[in-house]
A and B are shown apart, each in its own frame.
Chain A
Amino acid sequence: MRYGREAEVLKDISFELPRGSFHFLTGPSGSGKSTLLKLIYLSEQASRGRIEIFGQDLAALKRADRPLMRRRIGVVFQEFRLLEHLSVFDNAALAPRIAGRKPGAYRADVADLLAWVGLGDRMHAMPQALSGGEKQRLAIARAVINRPDILLADEPTGNVDEAMALRILRLFTELNRVGATVLIASHDTDLVIRSGMPVLNLDAGRLAQAPPFNPELAL
């Protein structure tokens, strides 16, 4: 994968994420973690190579089918990317609304999910009024409201303290238990090791050796 005439950001990478698996994606800044996630959530197109998601080759995927695939992928961004003009409730309700569901059919689901992520009393608030942790949980709620088959997160604990980071990790683990395939890009080595989950380690655009698993630190 390369941007324009720049050097390749990702090269010679080959891996498979089994359905229902949980992986961390680690590596230093500039190693290509965000680019890899972008390729998976269809925000970028690979300049060469082959990517298959749900058994479909992305290069052969018609433009009209890309939104349908995106609806099966939930994404949590490091910088949240919340819509500032929409309330917490409206932000969380974005995906079912776009999928064409009637408000009456998903109002209760959104309310339950926001309560589950600890935002039950902030549903009317605007994103500007939320703390970093609250924004992060709202971003997660927005990503999982449609029960995606794949959940991607880019540095989801980058803006929160350790206690909140562990809480968010438990949230992802819970989502994984109910069937989502989870891939989390993270700098937080301590969190990665404590999770005990398998790791894809990127270094200079290539997949490198994964760090050893330490069961004593597992959650």
Chain B
Amino acid sequence: MSLAFDANRWWPAPLLPRGDGRDWALLFVVAALSFLAGLAAVGALAGERAAAGWRSELIGSATIIVRAQGTDTADEEAARAAEVVSGTKGVAEARALDAAKADALIAPWIGANALPPDLPTPRLVAVDLDRKAPATGAELKRALSAAGIDADVDDHSRWTAQIMRAGAAIESTGAGLFLLILAVLGAVVAFATRQGLAARRDVVEALHLSGATDGYIARLFQARFARSAAQAGLAGAVLAVLAAVLLKLMSTGDDQFTALLPIAWRDLAAPAPFPILAALVAAVTARMTAMAVLAERP
């Protein structure tokens, strides 16, 4: 190997020493934060989708509980109720559930074949509402009362409100987690920048005395930490995507899991912006920290 030095081919080497032990610790922390942020984003999207699905199911339907009255049997009363609400504005379809189906619904609580056949159990009418302009529970109740039918209407509004609250909670928790992770990333980079400035005091001193401005020196740290954060963020995001794929594959065939966390393939893109965000946060934090530390020097 020739040691000949050709000044004409010389190109400046990086002014900050290439990585040391502390940088590895920073890379690990940023990768872990990116992994958590990626999973939080995928989880928030899937959770929001689950809540939206449940909300859609509940908003689009209502249940009418019909009690037998006068000379009509419960089945006849239910059929009449279905007919009445079918003609109500905001209702797409209404169908009376037969006795077997009604019994099947209460079987989990009282057991199958536990009811005497002559016990007058209420009948149910399943109502599919017009999704664009659904009838309210009060409107259905009014229509039934006008037809002289004694029935209770459950438009699921109690559950809908709870599910909407749950959906909002999932969204805000996901966003909060994401912001918290970015804040932690900023704090870690600020700490690392202070450490870096202290550890490379000789470099900073030499640069200052050679006429470097605070901004010039801060830019070196800014670029170093932005690059590190982008690389570590990318590694963490890739791991988060792999973990999400694994969760999705594990949930295949498990209806309960899928209902709780319906991960879609497109959700896997959610961790993608994190490496860029991490680089931005690292750059801004490193610059601000370096400028503040350098301002303390003469």
Contacts and interface: CB of A to CB of B under 8 A. Distances in A.
B208 interface: yes
Given A93-B12, A97-B12, A108-B7, A83 B213 contact: no
A124 B209 contact: no
Nearest to B14: A85
A98 B202 contact: no
A147 interface: no
B5 A68 contact: no
A67 B202 contact: no
Contact of A44 (B205, B214, B298): B298
B13 A99 contact: no
Contacts of B7: 89, 107-108, 110-111, 123
B207 interface: yes
B109 interface: no
B161 interface: no
A213 to B, nearest CB: 32
B211 A95 contact: yes
A123 B12 CA distance: 13
Given A42-B298, A44-B298, A87-B13, A107 B209 contact: no
A210 interface: no
Contacts of B17: 85
Interface in A130-160: 142, 146
A94 interface: yes
A68 B18 contact: no
A75 interface: yes
B210 interface: yes
Contacts of B180: none
A86 interface: yes
B10 A89 contact: yes
A194 interface: no
A74 B130 CA distance: 83
Contact of B8 (A44, A45, A71, A107): A107
A36 to B, nearest CB: 15
Given A89-B5, A123-B5, A98 B13 contact: no
A41 interface: yes
Q: How large is the interface on A (under 10, 10 to 19, 20 to 34, 35 or more residues)?
A: 35 or more
A105 interface: no
A70 interface: yes
Count class of interface residues, chain B: 20 to 34
A219 B133 CA distance: 104
B12 A103 contact: yes
Contacts of B119: none
A14 interface: no
B10 A103 contact: yes
A82 to B, nearest CB: 8
B212 interface: yes
Given A45-B298, A86-B13, A90-B13, A98 B8 contact: no
B247 interface: no
A111 B10 CA distance: 10
Contact of A70 (B13, B15, B208): B208
A209 interface: no
A98 B5 contact: no
Given A85-B18, A103-B11, A95 B206 contact: no
A103 B10 CA distance: 8
B211 A68 contact: yes
A43 interface: yes
A163 interface: no
Contacts of B202: 81, 83
Nearest to A86: B13
Given A81-B206, A94-B210, A111-B7, 9 more contacts: A41-B209, A43-B298, A70-B209, A70-B210, A83-B15, A93-B12, A107-B7, A108-B7, A123-B5
21 contacts: A44-B298, A63-B214, A67-B211, A67-B212, A68-B211, A70-B210, A71-B210, A75-B209, A81-B209, A82-B206, A83-B206, A85-B17, A90-B13, A97-B12, A98-B211, A99-B211, A107-B7, A110-B7, A123-B5, A123-B7, A124-B3
- 8 closest A-B pairs (Cβ-Cβ)? A71-B211, A111-B7, A124-B5, A85-B17, A123-B5, A70-B211, A67-B213, A98-B212
